[in-house]
């Protein structure tokens, strides 16, 4: 999930390391009212969204420039395997707002239910369904245009 959100291999490794550090520091506060998987996924999700927000602010880049940079990494990265269709889908995902991209990744790639996604993101099922619908429409438009 981290890799799909951040694209860049080094950034993904850094954020994943931060996730495990946070888990290690907070494991004694895990309340067991949710599944461990959900708790860890929520930490990873929050770290990804925070990282992307910081990256955009740190470089004072408009969203389009960050997405262009990540799109170039899809083409250049030896770690990014897949055929042209898969690369085109990844580029389409970069056109989405971060939260829509997250919802799409959770539903499409992780095959999570809306209820599981709701637990992870602390968002209503209705809002998640709307985000997924908007994301799929934007992806469809991108793929048709390119």
pLDDT band at residue 12 under the 50/70/90 scheme: very high
pLDDT digits (tens, 9 = 90+) for 58-97: 666 555 555 566 656 655 555 555 577 778 888 899 899 9
Residue 46 pLDDT more than 90?
Answer: yes
d(CA 61, CA 75): 21
Tokens 């055929």 found at: 83
Q: What is the pLDDT of residue 113?
A: 96
Query: From residue 123, how far is each of 69, 75, 126, 131 by CA, in Å?
Result: 29, 33, 8, 11
For 39, the domain range is: 2-145
d(CA 113, CA 51): 25
Q: What is the CATH number of the domain that holds 55?
A: 1.20.140
Q: Kindly write down the DSSP assignment for every residue of 43-104, as one continuous string.
A: HHHHHHHHHHHHHHHHTT--HHHHHHHHHHHHHH-TT----HHHHHHHHHHHTS-HHHHHHH
Whether the model pTM is above 0.85: no
Counting the structural domains of the chain, the total is 1
């Amino acid at each position: 999930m981290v890799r799909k959100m951040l694209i860049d291999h080094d950034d993904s490794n850094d954020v994943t390391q931060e996730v495990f550090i946070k888990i290690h520091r907070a494991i004694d506060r895990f309340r067991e009212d949710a599944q461990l998987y959900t708790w860890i996924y929520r930490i990873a999700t929050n770290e990804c969204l925070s990282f992307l927000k910081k990256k955009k602010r740190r470089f004072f880049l408009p969203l389009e420039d960050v997405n262009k940079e990540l799109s170039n990494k899809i083409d250049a990265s030896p770690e990014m395997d897949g055929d042209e269709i898969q690369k085109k889908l990844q580029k389409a995902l970069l056109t989405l707002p971060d939260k829509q991209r997250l919802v799409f990744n959770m539903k499409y790639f992780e095959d999570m239910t809306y209820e599981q996604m709701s637990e992870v993101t602390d968002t209503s099922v209705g809002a998640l369904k709307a985000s997924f619908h908007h994301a799929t429409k934007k992806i469809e438009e991108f793929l048709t245009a390119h």
